[in-house]
Structure 1
């Protein structure tokens, strides 16, 4: 299976978001136990690099950093950015996405 195939990309995306959820869970547990925490910059960075679904899911299900500003606003901006990127990707003419992946050396 080639990396450019939609199912493979979806599975990589899903796996990454599960990892991001786990990072948020780990930080929540550390907050409860008074242990070493994951920095907010790290939490936001993993969300920015494709883990926004896992980040928001963890935030809502674990009730983690739901009221903390500016963290909450920055995370929602990342989510909005990912939605816009997704809309452009879905609306792109056929073949454009594969050409972009080939240009990046991912196919």
Structure 2
């Protein structure tokens, strides 16, 4: 894999995971305050597009949406799919 592509991928995954984790924390704070919430669809989309690991870890740490089957099944599935995609990309591009 060319180094610029590798660096771009690392930066992308770091950024999307940080954003997804911050969204989960923000949604938890908003839930406690009774404020406008971040839609579940938005949280799941950020997980799908690369932020599943950060979002899942944040949700477990702050105990947010851990009783929602949708999140407890889809986020680990997204993590597995993203790990497989990264593994295949590294295998085929190196």
Give the TM-score range, shorter chain. 0.7 to 0.9
The yes-or-no answer on 1:85 pairing with 2:85 is yes
Query: In 1, are the aligned partners of 2:16 and 2:46 still within 8 Å (CA)?
Result: no
**Structure with more helix by fraction:** 2
Coordinate RMSD, CA, aligned:
1.8
Q: What is the CA–CA distance in structure 2 between the aligned matches of 1:5 and 1:16, rounded to whole Å?
A: 16
2:22 — aligned with what? 22
Q: Secondary structure at the match of 2:66?
A: coil
Provide the TM-score with structure 1 as the length reference.
Answer: 0.75
Q: Which runs of 5+ in 1 are unaligned?
A: 95-107
User: Which has the greater radius of gyration?
Assistant: 1
Shift >4 Å, 4+ stretches: none
Structure 2, unpaired ranges of 5+ = none
- Once the two structures are superposed, the pairs formed by residues 52-91 of structure 1 within 5 Å of their partners are 52-91=52-91
Return the structure number with greater relative CO, CA threshold 8 A, min gap 6. 2
Q: Report the CA distance between 1:93 and its aligned residue.
A: 4.5
